[in-house]
Structure 1
Amino acid sequence: MTTRRPKSLIAALLLSASTLTAGTADAQNGPALERLIRGSSEASPKLSVSAETRAANRYAIVIGNSDYSAIPDLPNALSDARIMAQFFESQGYEVKHHENITKRGFEGVLRRVLFDVDGDTEVVVFFAGHGFQIGSENYLVPVDANFDSVYDVPFEAVSLGSLVGIIGARARLQIVILDSCRDNPFAGQVALTQIGNELRETRTGFSSQAAPLNSMLVYSTAPGSVAYDGEGANSPFTGALFQEASSRPNDLVKDVFEGVRRRVYEETNGLQVPWDSSTLIEPASFGIGDSQLENIVVDGRGGGGTRGLVRIVVPSQSENVSTTEEPAANSAILDADFVPEAEIRFSIRDALDLSPVDQVTITEGPKSGRLVLMDESGFRRNVAGESIPGADVDKLLLINDSVQVPAVSLVDGNIDDGLVLSVNGDQRNIALHLTPDACDFEAGDHLDPDGMGVTRYANEIRPEFALAACEVAVLRDPAVGRFHYQLGRALTALRRYDEAAAAYERARDLNHARAWVALGNAELNKARITGGLTSGQASDEVLQLFARGVAEGDPYAFYALGRQFMRFGGNEELEIEGYDLMMRALEVGHTFAMNELGYFYLNKDAEYYDPERGLRYLRESALRGDIYGYNNMGLVYLRGLGGAKINHPAAFEMFTKAAEGGQPDAPFNLGVMYRDGFVSSGKDLRKSVDWFTEGLNRGDAYAGEEAAYLVSSGNVPGYDLFDAAVIGAKAAALRNHRAANRSREMIARFPRKTLDGGAQKLILELGGDVSVDGAFGPSSQSAMDEVLLKYNAGSAATDPVERIIQLAAISWKISPFRVDLY
């Protein structure tokens, strides 16, 4: 029999680096990402910017961080953020105002950008709080930051470079304003912030940083200098900004900031000079002005058909939903379609019996969206807090934001929300029951920039339900890209890979951002469909698809392309670029990136081996409930990777969580624990083989090889030698894999009767009529011929080894494993 080879984190998941495929040398002359985008023959240009028009949407992120847990507070930061939020609201921005935000909160803010912002949106970011530089990198500090380790920066601070990269990929225009650098709260501390192990000291102020295209970065002080908090309610910088912007909101921002610079210089007696970096290619002002001639129609969710309706329902006696702190009876209950836009029409008017002259104030909007009025130019005005005449209520649109909630958490499939209105001074509470489209509910994807945010990971999809729902959706709304993409997810879960690729192509043609990564993965997975695990190295064609996803602001693309560069780049420049993409994915809390960085730093044979750093990433992934993070931490505890202490109970717990979630490698690892007696109940070969067989069913040829080896010993209850042949043949049928080749060698040493009995079992499994006795005579041959004819599998092999592998290959064809789980 063959030698058993247990899996480890490095052996299974970290493959030796090699150079990228043809054309990669061009990356030496410029960023590889840009080269790949330019080289994509399928990628149509992104939306071009016209200086003749203004964006239809305005979006502001305002953050004030004052109450820090481990470093000095900033008394003025909250009041600075509040007056700027007030100003942006007065200019028609949809304002996301946050105070004392944590690192996880920052991740949530950046995730919201993915869903709320598209190519027809102007974005302004205002941050008041601590900031510092390490090397050439600038960081914003959440209120819960506490640097106890040199490895903490990615989990305790927010990279300015990642922030502007994420926003810049989604927005038409961005202006980032930083009233920071008031002191250095971590003076003298050192940290790792680059791909290598060079420790860098935290420094006061920000370093100079180039702005991405059509962006402006504004700093409250010059590079490396200190900004002052001020003695009044506001800092000198924010006070000057508010005064200048309020007095001339329709002036160009560059002129406004020239005035800010003069004011701050004079007020601080020349000690503080604001600084900016601009790549704006169109006029930009904080005010709406009169330059909006014609809005550009952009639907980031894939075309038309995104409208829904709001309907009145009769409340039952038991329903009592309120958005206020004290319970209050609802004046009305409305059903609404949870789609990007739902038309109010007459629902609120009729439900509240409004007259045209009634004054209606939107006291509190829905938590999962907002109410807007669209003017003649197409600009959508957020009406939260505004008073409008009853006659305008029918013109309201309910804009539903991507909510990012697990579908499995919605017990009845609905999202409960509400809003509070004041009608002529009297409060009215309205309950909203939001109903997602069935396709969104069954196949919505996690962190999908153009999705509705009712999400399922691949292992949570109910394939048949998803297929039925999404087929209905694409027939009803064929121009909506997200429905085609989600249909592709359902088809992938059903192993109908060619049809899935066609659905992804249609989604791409309808500008659905996630479709680029899906197409790249579909191409990359072709070798896996019948071949089991492969190295995963992508062709330039796939890299170009991933790169276009990066350009569209998709965090899964950040991860996918970053992974290719880090694993297979073959030179320092590409590895660094891959690391930067990974860090961008990490800024939105993408656990895949944490796992990949863990692999990277735990590779003993690599230049950047740093076990403590690698374990920091893996622990963070597992803490966030990622099934791959669970499996990786199980390996850490099982084998003492990176110097960690061996802990078998913890390993078993981690592997069990991973396996229950559908992780494809975890069954093998549980099989190892039962095989070697590392569980509390002691050695159990039956359970070991059960788990190894489950791993094989998930496409793991290593697991199949090990199960066949154990069963062939004849000491596993519930399994016989014919089962050993079947399991070994199925592992051998996963071609182009070392474990598959070893499985073939192993079953070639089995007795003829064992092979023939296994072939008979496979014939039965495939629907044939045969007796399983190990004597492969004319009746068995006839049954096999019928099976081959049924599945159009050619003529029967005569060699016993080739015959059983031929039948095993048919079993994979009709019951393939889920490649989307790898």
Structure 2
Amino acid sequence: MSMSAAATLAVAQSEPDRLAVVIGNQDYVGIDDLANAKHDAERFSAMLRDLGFTVFDGYNVDRQGFEDLLRASILNVTEGAEIVFFYAGHGIQIGRRNYLLPTDVAFDSVYDLPVESVTLDRVIELLSARGKVHVAIIDACRDNPFPDKVLAGNLDASLFETKSGFDVFQTPLNSLVAFSTAPGMVAYDGKGSENSPYTAAIVNAVSAAPERDILSVFAQVREAVYNVTEGKQVPWESSTLVQPFQFGRSAKATVAASAENTVPVSESGTTTRQVAAPDFPSEVTLSVAYDRQVALGPALAAALDQSELPPITVTSVPDQGLVSVRADGVLYRPILGERRATELAATLRDDFSITVQSNGTEIPVTVLLEMEVNACDLAAGDALDPGSVGFYRLPNEIEVAYALEACQAAVQAHPEEGRFSYQLGRAEQAAGQLRESFQSFQTAVTQGHIRALNGTGRFLISKRIDHQTTGIPQNPEGALALYEKGIEAGDPFAMHSKGLHFLRNGKNAAEREMGFELLDRAAELGHTYSMNELGIYFLTKDTEHFLPERGLRYLQASAARQDIYGYYNLGFVEANGLNGPKDLNAAYQWYLKASEGGHPFGPSTLGRMIRRGEVPGQGDAEALVWYDKGLSRGDGWGGVNAARMVLKGEGTTVDVPEALIRFAKARHLSNKKAAEAALEGLQGHSAIDVAKATQLLLRDMGAEVVVDGAIGPATRRVLAAMAAEANLPAPADDRLSELETAARIYWAKSPTRPDLF
């Protein structure tokens, strides 16, 4: 994949941004290659760059490469953008939907469709979600490479034959979808090194008159293709355009843009005619903060030792962004891409060239950019976040203390920036500060941060948090409304959250089908949470949707993307023989990998395997360690199982109060069956042991109490004060009530991670 800046650098300030995603798939691994798809895409990319588009292009792109390109487009699309999508390669129709085929496509199973292909209408919906105008051009209707295949595409697993050509579908408002041939028909490839008739006709028509309206362009293209193929191929378009669109800007806009490139500007937008210094340095270094767009005017003027920026012309583009000289200043906009923050340096570099006018001469100057990435972006940036700068950590990768400090500082320095408010909320959630996290997410929503809609909604709908102690309202309907706003803006996390709700809780087949569609749509963008949810859905025994082979396809895709839940779920598959004979060693390795990555249930699962004698060389002591780790992550069964072992002295010495502490903690976690088992385990013990457990737990939380098995006035005052601080009522004058209150205080102080469940 390559991401290249547009060749035209300066644009009129009132014009929307212009972005294109171009894919040319020619060399396929398991099916017939195409003759000119790559050549077609390259020529189309070159044309768009010449016309001022920022182009994200990929050639011979596999499935994960598709995800990368689409994720990059999510990051870089701005409100009001003009967006063009071009695809040349294999494409087929299955049922009433159209699919684009990555180069590694392999339909080995009837259930491979969602993890091996890309759905065209979803691509169009995604790219048009935040743009002003969207144009999709598909030069893909060659022969069907899978003529004998039937594949499942819907929730009910009904099978459809693959067909050549594409089918008609509803396009979003203010968009145009253009196909190289009419629905159900086949298009022609170019001969030798020539372009296809369709691509050649488009490039020729646009190059001849780039400012012509697009509908007129495609009328000419249709006529040209019809003539050159002797009536065998007739291009077809579906349009909902309500505003004009031209591939090229008008001559007036071009002149204005060119003029802006040579006018001295200040950040206030005023122009001056200043006598330049006789000499300028041949190279300057600007140290600036990395952001979605960076104002360079003041720093550049200072580096040139000028009070205001003199007349400049940009002569070469940066490698990783684009620069424009506008009436309101000089702007650098990085081309954003998703990068794991754990693997990223804090300083990024780029460079470009300018000429500075000085007494009638033009002096060349190289501008070096040293851009400091905000520590909050590195500490708590979120994956697939359309409002981020592209750096992310998964929930289990957040280093709590570092993230809190970095994001608190960022919010203080930039109080109106929704990105930092949201990322602070992520840090607070990881730290167990759920009330504060919810408030930060709400603030980010008011600041227009799209991903915060999902974060706020998950708090409102969650059953895994104590709404009383946190003060967070429970409002499922409000959550669904927030999810819908996120979906409209193209956020795959909102797609996942709403899809999960309706697949699990749908009242009828239509709601469950909607849930499946949303989850499958998010999975197509590489959202591993959705892959796991769908995988488990089809691997649930004793249901009408138990289709292990289908579920396995999703889980394998998740694990391939290094997701801890994909690891865990594949362990489940191996342990239960859902992929052939049981393989306990393989199951142990998958569970271990998941647990080491922070999976909440993985530790308890390992403990159970050890207790059953399924892990050679390990015994009760190792099992107890894993159970306790599971309890610390919020797994109630981890606490129940550990407590039972401590009562029997298995893996440790008998210690009744320590066992009761584990039961009490498990009693107040979200798993109802584990909570019931914990309540049963708390019964029948002496008042002294129960009191000692309460005192030990209070002391573990920092209270200064004597552990003597007698709850006196001093201990009760401490307990009542801590309960009030946690927004809990004081306990009854009863030993068991006191212990349970202490356990609730413990979870209020050290809550589990709802973002990990």
**TM-score, normalisation: structure 1:** 0.80
**SS at structure 1 position matched to 2:238:** strand
Match of residue 589 from structure 2:
653
Aligned-partner Cα distance in 2 for 1:223–1:449: 34
Distance 1:584 1:515, change over 3 A: same
8 Å contact kept, 1:760–1:771: yes
Aligned-partner Cα distance in 2 for 1:791–1:568: 35
Q: How does 1:687-702 map to 2 (within 5 A)?
A: 687-702=622-637
Give the letter aligned to residue 676 of structure 1: R
Aligned-partner Cα distance in 1 for 2:711–2:739: 14
Aligned-partner Cα distance in 1 for 2:241–2:312: 44
RMSD of Structure 2 on Structure 1 (CA): 3.2
Shift of 1:287: 1.7
**TM-score, normalisation: structure 2:** 0.87
Greater relative contact order (Cα < 8 A, sep 6+): 1
Q: How does 1:809-820 map to 2 (within 5 A)?
A: 809-820=744-755
Q: 1:284 aligns with which of 245, 266, 277?
A: 245
Q: 1:87 aligns with which of 47, 52, 56?
A: 47
Aligned-partner Cα distance in 2 for 1:569–1:251: 49
**SS at structure 1 position matched to 2:297:** coil
Match of residue 210 from structure 1:
170
Aligned-partner Cα distance in 1 for 2:310–2:668: 73
Q: 1:725 aligns with which of 649, 653, 660?
A: 660
Distance 1:75 1:425, change over 3 A: farther
Q: Deviations over 1:352-411 (max 9, x none)?
A: 99998998631x6223x222333x5x9xxxxxxxxxxxxxxxx6422123332222212x
Q: 1:631 aligns with which of 568, 593, 599?
A: 568
Shift of 1:57: 0.4
Match of residue 318 from structure 2:
365
Shift of 1:691: 1.6
**SS at structure 1 position matched to 2:465:** helix
8 Å contact kept, 2:71–2:338: no
Shift of 1:538: 7.6
Distance 1:698 1:359, change over 3 A: closer
Give the letter aligned to residue 161 of structure 2: E
**SS at structure 1 position matched to 2:500:** helix
Q: How does 1:81-230 map to 2 (within 5 A)?
A: 81-230=41-190
Match of residue 529 from structure 2:
592
8 Å contact kept, 2:636–2:671: no
Aligned-partner Cα distance in 2 for 1:600–1:291: 57
Aligned-partner Cα distance in 2 for 1:71–1:420: 45
Aligned-partner Cα distance in 1 for 2:191–2:199: 13
Aligned-partner Cα distance in 2 for 1:804–1:349: 67
8 Å contact kept, 1:55–1:172: no
**SS at structure 2 position matched to 1:172:** strand
Match of residue 335 from structure 1:
287
Aligned-partner Cα distance in 2 for 1:78–1:714: 68
Counting matched residue pairs gives 708
Distance 1:490 1:550, change over 3 A: same
Give the letter aligned to residue 254 of structure 1: L
8 Å contact kept, 1:768–1:783: no
My pick for the range that moved more, 267-276 or 738-747, is 738-747
Q: 2:348 aligns with which of 412, 415, 421?
A: 415
Asked whether 1:743 is paired with 2:696, we answer no
Q: Deviations over 1:26-82 (max 9, x none)?
A: xxxxxxxxxxxxxxxxxxxxxxxxxxx975101112222222222222222222222
Q: How does 1:650-799 map to 2 (within 5 A)?
A: 650-682=586-618, 684-717=619-652, 720-734=655-669, 737-773=672-708, 775-776=709-710, 778=712, 781-792=713-724, 794-799=729-734
**SS at structure 2 position matched to 1:625:** coil
8 Å contact kept, 1:529–1:816: no
Distance 1:794 1:501, change over 3 A: closer
Q: How does 1:552-563 map to 2 (within 5 A)?
A: 552-563=489-500
Aligned-partner Cα distance in 1 for 2:740–2:750: 15
Distance 1:569 1:157, change over 3 A: same
Distance 1:124 1:678, change over 3 A: same
Asked whether 1:494 is paired with 2:431, we answer yes
8 Å contact kept, 2:570–2:590: yes
Aligned-partner Cα distance in 1 for 2:314–2:79: 32
Match of residue 224 from structure 2:
263
Distance 1:794 1:192, change over 3 A: closer
8 Å contact kept, 2:432–2:749: no
Q: How does 1:360-439 map to 2 (within 5 A)?
A: 361-362=315-316, 365-367=318-320, 369-374=321-326, 396-410=330-344, 412-417=345-350, 432-439=369-376
**SS at structure 2 position matched to 1:202:** strand
Aligned-partner Cα distance in 2 for 1:720–1:198: 57
Q: Deviations over 1:298-337 (max 9, x none)?
A: xxxxxxxx99xxxxxxxxxxxxxxxxxxxxxx96655332
8 Å contact kept, 1:638–1:648: yes
Match of residue 32 from structure 1:
none
Aligned-partner Cα distance in 1 for 2:428–2:125: 33
8 Å contact kept, 1:487–1:500: yes
Q: Deviations over 1:695-744 (max 9, x none)?
A: 11212212211111221123331561211111111111336722112211
**SS at structure 1 position matched to 2:495:** helix
Aligned-partner Cα distance in 1 for 2:559–2:615: 21
Q: Deviations over 1:629-660 (max 9, x none)?
A: 111112222232x3443222222222222222
Shift of 1:582: 1.6
Distance 1:438 1:152, change over 3 A: same
Distance 1:93 1:815, change over 3 A: same
**SS at structure 1 position matched to 2:135:** strand
8 Å contact kept, 1:594–1:620: yes
Give the letter aligned to residue 222 of structure 1: A
Match of residue 411 from structure 2:
474
**SS at structure 2 position matched to 1:209:** coil
Q: 1:568 aligns with which of 497, 505, 511?
A: 505
Shift of 1:667: 1.5
Match of residue 61 from structure 1:
21
Aligned-partner Cα distance in 2 for 1:599–1:86: 45
Match of residue 261 from structure 2:
none
Distance 1:54 1:125, change over 3 A: farther
Distance 1:203 1:289, change over 3 A: same
Give the letter aligned to residue 713 of structure 1: K
Q: Deviations over 1:731-760 (max 9, x none)?
A: 113367221122112211334343233223
